[in-house]
Structure 1
């Protein structure tokens, strides 16, 4: 069987770690699977249908948001995750965070991946942030399919009311006891990873997490840039503010792609990475399959690598 590109990258990194690190257990780390793009897009289609059936959006306090939570929760429950719905109040409406834990792994070392699930009221929010939400959902389902036995504990989260100022993630962090916060060895954030005129941006907040993503993209021969457009504007911020190591990926929002970036990544210079940012046209047509596929595979690569999957 031919190994996928992410699998080859994973095996190469495992070999490098085994050769250079005093702890040879890295040699037993499993390579991440390739995440089926069709599955990720199917989740986006479902989120689009949910928005269409509920006033055209999936915003906080609207029926479309709760329906989105229920869709994701149903998939995770069926896959063997332990799910918890956390309620909070924002702008006079009840909000919801969905937390999913994979059984096993060292509960004193938690690798957590998160994405906000809400849209703005203007539209369905398929890139912002159906893309991140669908990618981590499919990664979680891949964990289940593999019956993964990671060294560290795996946790996934879908946040509410991000568009109102990171309300859901801040509520989670603020209500997490200090001892529990200390157990999170890394929080990975995925917000807008399928932009139609994409860039490949990596958070530079934690060197280990940053290098993990850079290694993945180096294996594909794709250059990356440090992410600056979203600094403090997404759900990693509450974690970072209390000292949790954070990292993540981003494909760009309303900043304009430069000529140098277009030469490096393709696409169109002088145009926003996502012309439909926070607009009604953020639909399933507002997605780069290439960016979504690459970034979804990068999510899985990071989860497998950072958790010591076996």
Structure 2
């Protein structure tokens, strides 16, 4: 078994969101995959456990604490790792939530298409508990972007800050937020600030995965795209730019597709 490391959504190995990648995980048990992910220590490590046909692979994702149903940045990292080995082209990843098509070009840029996106109301009691855990007030929210729970392979509450400063001041109650997320099966909290109609800065608390913050989250970006479309905030065909720290994620809402396209580069991390 060889553990590769890729930085996703960045051209800099020191930037973006690092992912572990194991291309030959067919003999590993669940416990062994969990142990590897904990040892790697990144937000997620992806494991290819089986080849199911030409360019089709069974993929599972583990955070340091638990298996997660879908992970966008590790999908991008794994697709680029396969392209580095086999050449660019089209792939299919069979994940716990369904088949995810991915294409990789010759510039190490991968584009995944999520499973169908959907959006649900966030219960008033859950919003109250979530704001308390975040140490936010209702007045901190952007009234033009209502709180919702969005899904595009994993569940993410979308909470919009009214100001960039509110987004920047991330100081949450870790035990309280972790307990709420575990009870509701939320993967990360997608905190956003809208700079323009199609440009967002985001943060992603990730205590259920053992990290204070997930550095750049493709699954949450896909969920955000689904949210923007469902709420009528952007029309189909829009390309949305998502920034998280130094990472850059492109979200495309393609007419006629239930899923959301998420694109970004990935590069190997030396060592």
Whether TM exceeds 0.5 here: the answer is no
TM-score with structure 1 setting the length: 0.22
Structure richer in strand, relative to its length:
2
TM-score with structure 2 setting the length: 0.24
